[in-house]
Structure 1
Amino acid sequence: MNFTEKAWEIFNRSIADYHVSNDVNAEIQNPYDESDLIAHLLYKKNWIDTVQWHLEDIIRDPEIDPVEALRIKRWIDQSNQERTDMVEYIDSWFLQKYADVQVASGAKINTESPAWAVDRFSILALKIYHMREEANRTDASSEHISQCQTKLNTLLEQHQDLSTAIEELIQDIASGKKYMKVYKQMKMYNDEELNPVLRGKK
């Protein structure tokens, strides 16, 4: 099993586990311990994405209480920070795994790190899960189902293409044809010293 096959299996397990309760307050029960660190990180990454997916649904309720909306908005902000942190942990795993690779002369850098591609892969798993739900609805119009099936087919094609692209990137890094550089996101809005609004509240 290659990396993307393993990641896809883990992402779908996380999504299925979440939907047992389908509750944004459910606590993660990560079945992978840190002896398989990448599996542990991938499951946690997708769980964060899955909870946030449903928070984004909830906050769009036009009748939501404004106080509750603000609470969820701040929850989403925290989730975005956790998501970024997980991407950086996954990139650290890749950096360590390929630390001893001899970079070839003329090696190129990719526009995104492996973990940011994995981030898109995790979100894609959620899109496919929920679009498949829509395509299989029995209470929707035939037009809705047809449109969702068309979208699902495109997402499934994207799964194949993104899987291939990620595998090729990993192979290029492993062979020294490409090299990794990881830039910490350095988000400013959560930092009391960098966000002028927060700084003014100190």
Structure 2
Amino acid sequence: MADRTPHPHDLAAGPRTDGVRVSRELEIPPERAAGLYPLYREVLGSLGSAAAARHLLTEEEFVDELADPRIDKWVATGEADGDFLGMSTLARDLQAVPWASPDFYIERYPEQAARGAIWYLGFTMTLPGAQGAGVFATMLSAMTEAAVAEQVIVAWDMCSANIAGGLNGAITTQLATSAGAISAQLDTQSYFSADFSGGS
């Protein structure tokens, strides 16, 4: 990636946790990705019953996503031992996000779209033993620094269960505090059912 002058709104680097190193990787080999899939299922498996839309990737989809160079993998490891602590994905091309409508974002952010500066935050996972220890905040700080340097729009979606759990609030607060970024809800989608089974 070419070096760029930091944007003047880069107020701070954001929170960092001592002993955590974050690297930006373009591709993760299939063998390594397959080894991470059980952890992905362990960390995010509850979304299978908590959200109406399918959030969990199959193993094939997971491996393909981690091998896709259009999607940055922000990997957190221990500085001392190099052990895996967590990972977040950030797509730099909306075409790499099957459920996102590029036209929706192009219409709202034409200048950024023209220079390929609309990114999409995908999944994030943190090793169960490291949750609540600042690993995700450290990954988010690293991603924020890149977003500020390249002057992009970062979009994401989130199910109501994670919103109720405070994840979205934590993200938007950190983005505002560390980089002065203002977050806004762009769209909503609701799921309904009609019961024809004769039950009350």
Q: Same fold (TM over 0.5)?
A: no
Structure with greater helix percent: 1
So what's the TM-score if we normalise by structure 1? Answer: 0.26
Q: Which has the larger radius of gyration?
A: 1
Which structure shows the higher strand fraction?
2
